[in-house]
């Protein structure tokens, strides 16, 4: 029985991956400081899976706490979700982001090496492509960062590459997620942003449920089919499945591979709003606002590498994404908090 350690296992993507791993028969250990999540998420994962998560409250920068976990359990591999992810906040608190994301990852890798656990799946982001010159974006595209969050992901990618160069017996998958949306079809777990959502889908859902009056669409003069920004939205359940495939791949291959996890299809902001309204039969009032600083017109994946290496591809449709996002929002208007 394989033990998989999920850092940030109580978060949005971590909780969905924990559920998928439990259902596939893995032992799951979550190590999370709950800075952006709640223990309720993992309780619901346990109910859905009918199996226990070993949940540990701790910070990845706390080497002693990590040592204890690695001493206590025969960990086979680590899926490293833990990190801060708000772009705007990162520009105001760069040291906090570098400390949490970069220093935290270095500490984690040091402890892993000491315990001879050298299989790692890392949550990277399409943000490492910066303002890509062409779409779809392949893994070989040039990398750059425009804010401390993106810079932290890029730095970690370089650190992991250097690590494999120095110690070739590591097996590392760097998964570059595009835009995760949706929720488990039970509506029991989902994305629970703190305060005002930064991302499109939770904002649409909060407008639909009546928590916010109107969606501001940031710009309708981009060079896209309807002028609004185009992104590669990927269902979080598909994303979670990608992590299982990556773990299987790591068990047979050494070295490091960066792999896009996206659908390969771009949808505009207006496409998303229209699909959400139509599929869920709910109004989503919107207004056109100025462009958001730092946004790009179009970003979607070339997803072939994931299929060729991992035998993974996204299976859920746009309708699934908007239906499942809405079910989660409707059943949990205040996310995991009861207030
Ligand atoms: P999330 O905030 O829901 O989950 C991250 C989890 O990590 C949270 O539970 C948080 O409490 C925990 N955490 C943060 N810092 C920690 C620390 N120092 N020690 C222990 N736990 C810590 O975010 P998510 O959407 O599930 O994202 C997971 C990963 O995927 C992140 O690394 C994020 O940068 C990356 N990613 C997310 C997206 C997205 O749009 N959701 C896109 C690309 C990449
Ligand atoms: N948008 C709106 N109104 C909103 C929110 C978003 O019009 O209230 C638009 C944006 O302008 C963009 C699209 O919806 O065109 C998607 O925006 P998101 O903020 O949901 O996603 P981004 O692609 O901008 O950002 C995401 C992650 C970042 C990551 C980036 C690149 O949130 O962390 O992808 O990978 F850096």
Determine the pLDDT at residue 98. 98
Any atom of ligand 2 within 6 Å of the Cβ of 231: yes
Q: Compute the distance between CA of residue 144 and CA of residue 280 in angstroms, rounded to an integer.
A: 38
Query: Ligand 2 mean position to 206 CA, how many Å?
Result: 16
Question: For residues 160 and 101, what is the distance between their CA atoms, to the nearest angstrom?
Answer: 13
Q: Residue 11: which of 123, 109, 114, 106 has the closest Cα?
A: 123
Q: What is the pLDDT of residues 54-66, one digit of tens each?
A: 999 999 999 999 9
Q: What is the pLDDT of residue 1?
A: 72
The whole-number average pLDDT for the span 16-30 is: 98
Atom of ligand 2 at shortest range from CA of 178: 35
Cβ count within 10 A of residue 136? 19
The Cβ of residue 234 has, within 10 Å, a number of other Cβ atoms equal to 27
Residue tagged active-site, from 12, 26, 97, 149: 149
Domains delineated in the chain: 3-182+233-264+299-315 (3.40.50.720)
Q: How would residue 126 be classed by pLDDT, with cut points 50, 70 and 90?
A: very high
Closest ligand 1 atom, CA of 179?
Answer: 40
Alpha-carbon span 16 to 184, nearest angstrom: 7
**Does 314 sit behind a cis peptide bond, omega within 30 degrees of 0 on the bond before it?**
no
pLDDT in the model for residue 339: 44
What is the pTM assigned to this prediction? 0.98
pLDDT digits (tens, 9 = 90+) for 155-208: 999 999 999 999 999 999 999 999 999 999 999 999 999 889 999 999 999 999
Q: Is the dihedral of CA 69, 75, 309, 169 positive or negative?
A: positive
**Which helix (H) or strand (E) segment is 299 a member of?**
strand 298-299
Task: Report, as an integer, the average pLDDT of 286-314.
Answer: 97
Does the CB atom of residue 179 touch ligand 2 within 6 A? yes
Share of the chain above pLDDT 90, in %: 96
């Amino acid at each position: 029985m394989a033990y998989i350690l999920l850092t940030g296992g109580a978060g949005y993507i971590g909780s969905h991956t924990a559920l998928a791993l439990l259902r596939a028969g893995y032992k799951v250990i979550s190590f999370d400081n709950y800075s952006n999540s709640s223990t309720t998420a993992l309780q619901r994962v346990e109910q859905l899976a009918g199996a226990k998560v070993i949940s540990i409250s701790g910070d990845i920068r706390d080497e002693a706490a990590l040592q204890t976990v690695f001493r206590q359990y025969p960990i086979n591999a680590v899926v490293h979700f833990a990190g801060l992810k708000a772009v705007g906040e990162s520009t105001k608190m760069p040291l906090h982001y570098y400390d949490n994301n970069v220093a935290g990852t270095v500490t984690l890798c040091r402890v892993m090496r000491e315990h001879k656990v050298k299989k790692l799946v890392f949550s990277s982001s399409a943000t490492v492509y910066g303002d890509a010159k062409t779409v779809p974006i392949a893994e070989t595209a040039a990398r750059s960062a425009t804010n401390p969050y993106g810079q932290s992901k890029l730095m970690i990618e370089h650190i992991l590459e250097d690590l494999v160069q120095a110690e070739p017996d590591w097996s590392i998958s760097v998964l570059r997620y595009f835009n995760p949306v949706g929720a488990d079809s039970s509506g029991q777990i989902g994305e629970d942003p703190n305060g005002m959502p930064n991302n499109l889908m939770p904002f649409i859902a909060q407008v639909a449920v009546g928590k916010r009056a109107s969606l501001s669409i940031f710009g309708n003069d981009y060079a896209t089919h309807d002028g609004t920004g185009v992104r590669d939205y990927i269902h979080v359940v598909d994303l979670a499945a990608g992590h299982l495939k990556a773990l299987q791949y790591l068990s047979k291959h050494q070295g490091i591979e960066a792999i896009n996890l996206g659908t390969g299809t771009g949808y505009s902001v207006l496409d998303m709003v229209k699909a959400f309204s139509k599929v869920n039969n709910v109004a989503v009032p919107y207004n056109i606002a100025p462009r958001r600083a730092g946004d790009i017109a179009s970003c979607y994946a070339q997803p072939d590498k994931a299929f060729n290496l991992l035998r993974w591809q996204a299976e859920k449709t746009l309708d699934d994404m908007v239906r499942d996002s809405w079910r989660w929002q409707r059943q949990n208007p205040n996310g995991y908090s009861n207030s």
